[in-house]
Chain A
């Protein structure tokens, strides 16, 4: 069953800007799905329409088989949203934010209290339940928004750049929390500008550009399309010039650092052998760019107008 189905979804704003030019998208139940795209591509508009914050110009949205217009209450009940920006009442306590949210979804008080406790504990916020929300740190505010989105036990959770602006430690702990939520059966749609986040968390991916879906596949197949990988090699001894190896592009960054672009079929073993033959000893290597980031840039660059592929 599809958790989300979009059919020919279009949005033209009052100023005439076509934010969405007819999007078709299916997200399977249980999936951890990445919706990526550059700024202004149409991601936020799409999420706004799915979560009833933006009126679509035409097309349809179905959440777990419920049409968002005809079966609005059922469709909305399945959805939880973590927006990009903090949007809870900054004068409310953490606990009352969740209890109010549960109330909006018709959750009886006793159950709302149980779920509030569960979600706050899950997000490591139980100790902060009576804190007025404006006194929380940025990372805690983001976790409050995730807990709030989970309090009515949605089947589909949309996370719109949930880790933007939080430090790496909090980001990693939020990844663990998201994975845990997904493993418990909640379908997750994630938008993010941290492509390593999408690569490590998501199983399927769609890329949107200029209001159109330009790529929609599973993460493994997409990454398999990457023919050339970029590495940075740290050398044991300084060298004067970049070595020349057929099929590879090698650049001397510093006298002890090389940037290498290597076709997949060439293989790292062969590269190391060729370098050793030239008396160059490699002591460590790292990916120059994230693999998904490389693909993402290739796709966006090759699709400047967002034409369908």
Chain B
């Protein structure tokens, strides 16, 4: 059985889906982040000065790019897979001879591709406000892909467990957005008082944003190796949990 065709079919379907609705998927991050760069980077940033030797604009660019990658990779999988469940066309996948790992990797790949595409759009917008000289392209791309994978997997689990459209908006609104804002997008963790620094260390997004910032502009508050270990650990854990849910049919089978 040639699973590569099934995998390509799912990925292609996912790409067509988010391109077909580009005013909902690709346009909003361009507008929102342009406003971030204008207000925080340009208007307020000019008064803040530098952080770790980087201008405030340069400092927030990596965080805003990765924040967009995170929210869009998550949103793509959670909305697409939940809609598939809601419309019951998940039955097409369950009846077909597709192993669970192919279903998972297809949807996660769709999420990664949308996350990265949005990341590119935001990076291009940022070029209107500053010049980016990439410090380490390999680290930049690797951590972007891994981060997109983590949040695509998280979106997949959310979609499997969700029983209503409310359930797919709770995590993005009440968990993902606060963690992203508190993950050092707009500030260095060193600027926080002691106890908040310690609490911030429990936020996985902090590690991803710092690794990405290091890749892009060479500035980080965190050990890069630790960032990769934590991100990799999340991928392994979430993958195994997703496969367990699919195997048991939780949320998708009777």
Contact = CB atoms under 8 A, between A and B. Distances in A.
Contacts of A51: 91, 94-95
A259 interface: no
A48 B97 contact: no
A83 B95 CA distance: 11
Contact of A105 (B91, B96, B253): B96
Contact of B5 (A74, A76, A81, A106): A106
Given A76-B96, A101-B92, A101-B96, A87 B5 contact: no
Contacts, number: 81
A106 B97 CA distance: 9
Interface of B: 1-3, 5-6, 8-10, 12-13, 20, 84, 87-89, 91-99, 249, 253-254
Interface size class of A (residues with CB under 8 A): 20 to 34
A55 B95 contact: no
A150 B6 CA distance: 17
B87 A107 contact: no
B254 A48 contact: yes
A274 interface: no
Given A73-B97, A81-B95, A88-B92, A103 B8 contact: yes
A104 B96 contact: yes
A51 B91 CA distance: 9
A13 B249 CA distance: 13
A73 B1 contact: yes
A307 B9 CA distance: 47
B76 to A, nearest CB: 15
Contacts of B9: 100, 103-104
A304 interface: no
Contacts of B5: 103, 106-109
Interface of A: 13, 45, 48, 51-55, 72-77, 79, 81, 83, 85, 87-91, 100-101, 103-109, 148
Contact of B91 (A76, A83, A103): A83
Given A54-B253, A103-B9, A104-B9, A89 B89 contact: yes
Task: Give the 3 A-B residue pairs with the shortest CB-CB distance, closest first.
Answer: A103-B9, A104-B96, A76-B97
Contacts of B12: 103
B93 A106 contact: no
Nearest to A81: B95
13 contacts: A48-B254, A52-B95, A52-B253, A76-B97, A77-B97, A81-B95, A87-B89, A89-B89, A100-B9, A100-B13, A100-B92, A103-B12, A104-B92
